[in-house]
């Protein structure tokens, strides 16, 4: 009897061990399954984000390319019509004047920039929009567009060049102090791809327009002395003499 009871106890112990092992395995399986699900969801999310970003960049570049095609189109002036003849029309893909071409390109750049403001193509489009606005004399609008590029492009070449355009637009509006601060900072940057001699010329001109002759002289002298072979050297000497005479 005792032998039978001991055998039953061993069977019960074995059953409990098997049940416990099954419980542990099922729990581990649930954990593993949950982990796999989380990993799959994460991979799907990352893949979706990458796909979305690539699609966004592709669409931005497509709109930018359309705008650039207009911006780079040839200008072919229209010939005067013969007496009694209808007015000539522009050749396909051309514009009769530079102004007409810029007016056609401007809304296309703005569309690309507005639809994809943070994509590289959208930032490039905003920069071109600002440049066109400045060339049209719409300096407050150009200043706003350049500032948008500065805010989004950071220290990239677009960001640094936009800061120069921003300062130019400010000078055109008589905002000399803020423009001078930008020119000065850019002239001191060691990692900028913008030629320092060109920045110093703009700085000298801003000082001259602000009536700060001594600072203008120093800026022009730097161009002459530090960059004697510069394309700006002759202009710097001439404008330096003009400032001294004024």
* Mean confidence (pLDDT) of the chain: 84
Three-state secondary structure call for residue 227 = coil
Structure tokens at 195: 């030629």
Share of the chain above pLDDT 90, in %: 63
H/E segment holding residue 219:
helix 213-226
Window from 51-60, 64-73, 128-137 with minimum mean pLDDT: 51-60
- Average pLDDT for 50-79: 84
pLDDT of residue 57: 83
Clarify whether residues 234 and 141 are in a common domain.
Answer: no
Checking if the pLDDT of 226 tops 50, the result is yes
Rounded-to-integer distance, Cα 55 and Cα 51, Å: 6
Longest dimension (CA), the chain: 132
Checking if the pLDDT of 97 tops 50, the result is yes
The whole domain housing 231 covers 174-246
Rounded-to-integer distance, Cα 152 and Cα 163, Å: 12
* Number of structural domains the chain divides into: 2
Cα angle for residues 159, 165, 167 (degrees, 5° grid):
105
Rounded-to-integer distance, Cα 67 and Cα 178, Å: 31
- Average pLDDT for 198-208: 96
> The CATH number of the domain where 208 resides is what?
1.25.40.10
How distant, in Å, are the alpha carbons of 66, 159, 191, 197 from that of 125?
10, 13, 24, 27
Checking if the pLDDT of 78 tops 90, the result is no
Checking if the pLDDT of 167 tops 70, the result is yes
Place of tokens 């514009």: 95
Rounded-to-integer distance, Cα 164 and Cα 149, Å: 11
Q: Tell whether 84 is covered by a domain.
A: no
14-47 residue pLDDT tens: 555 555 556 654 566 665 555 545 555 544 455 5
Clarify whether residues 40 and 139 are in a common domain.
Answer: yes
180 or 43: whose pLDDT is higher?
180
Phi then psi for 95, rounded to 5 degrees? -135, 145
Nearest alpha-carbon partner for 233 in 209, 197, 205: 197
pLDDT of residue 10: 47
Q: Tell whether 164 is covered by a domain.
A: no
């Amino acid at each position: 009897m005792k032998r039978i009871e001991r055998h039953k106890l061993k069977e019960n112990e074995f059953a409990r061990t098997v049940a416990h092992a099954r419980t542990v395995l099922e729990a581990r399986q649930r954990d593993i399954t949950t982990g796999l699900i989380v990993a799959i969801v994460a991979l799907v999310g990352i893949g979706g984000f990458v796909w979305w970003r690539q699609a966004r960049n592709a669409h931005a570049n497509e709109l930018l390319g359309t705008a650039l095609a207009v911006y780079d189109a040839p200008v072919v002036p229209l010939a005067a019509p013969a007496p009694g003849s209808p007015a000539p029309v522009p050749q396909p893909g051309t514009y009769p004047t530079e102004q007409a071409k810029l007016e056609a390109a401007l809304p296309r750049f703005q569309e690309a920039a507005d639809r994809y403001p943070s994509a590289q193509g959208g930032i490039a489009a905003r920069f071109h929009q600002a440049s066109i606005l400045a060339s049209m004399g719409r300096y407050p609008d150009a200043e706003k567009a350049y500032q948008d590029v500065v805010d989004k492009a950071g220290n990239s070449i677009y960001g640094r060049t936009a800061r120069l355009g921003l300062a130019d637009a400010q000078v055109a509006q008589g905002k000399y102090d803020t423009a001078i601060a930008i020119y000065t900072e850019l002239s001191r940057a060691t990692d900028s791809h913008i030629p320092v001699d060109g920045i110093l010329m703009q700085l000298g001109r801003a000082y001259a327009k602000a009536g700060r002759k001594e600072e203008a002289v120093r800026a022009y002298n730097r161009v002459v002395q530090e960059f004697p072979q510069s394309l700006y050297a002759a202009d710097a000497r001439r404008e330096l003499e003009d400032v001294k005479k004024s």
